[in-house]
């Protein structure tokens, strides 16, 4: 990276600061999204494959709440096979 001149204008420094902050914000959003994906994948895996008491309790807790998290039509469509939105039944085909 080239050294910046001591004669940079305050406007240039401010623009550089804003660009760095935007990059940091973008990275933080990406990391938050990745964490959400990993947690979600873990929950889906547990609900789909585990039949222990913890999984049953998790399922019982998520079943009524999950439809409220799906605020976009495309997300409701994505989970159409796993969830009947109106009755909250069939979440991940867990019995």
The predicted-structure confidence for 28-87, as pLDDT tens digits, reads as follows 999 999 999 999 899 888 888 888 888 888 888 887 888 888 888 888 888 777 665 444
The answer to whether residue 4 is domain-embedded is no
Q: Which residue has the higher pLDDT, 15 or 93?
A: 15
Cβ 62 vs Cβ 91: under 8 Å: yes
How many Cβ atoms from other residues are within 10 Å of residue 55's Cβ?
Answer: 16
In sign, the C-alpha dihedral spanning 29, 27, 31, 82 is positive
The answer to whether residue 3 is domain-embedded is no
Domain count, the chain: 1
pLDDT at 3: 66
Compute the half-sphere exposure of residue 15: CA atoms within 13 Å on the CB side of its CA.
Answer: 5
The answer to whether residue 85 is domain-embedded is yes
The answer to whether residue 2 is domain-embedded is no
- Give the range of the structural domain holding residue 89, as residue numbers without chain letter: 11-93
């Amino acid at each position: 990276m080239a050294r910046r001149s001591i004669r940079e204008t305050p406007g240039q420094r401010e623009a550089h600061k804003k660009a760095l902050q935007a990059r940091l914000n973008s990275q933080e959003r990406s990391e938050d999204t990745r964490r959400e994906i990993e947690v979600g994948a873990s929950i889906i895996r547990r609900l789909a494959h585990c039949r222990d008491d913890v999984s049953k309790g998790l399922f019982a807790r998520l079943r009524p709440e999950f439809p409220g998290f799906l605020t976009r039509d495309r997300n409701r469509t994505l989970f159409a096979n796993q969830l009947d939105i109106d009755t909250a039944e069939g979440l991940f085909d867990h019995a």
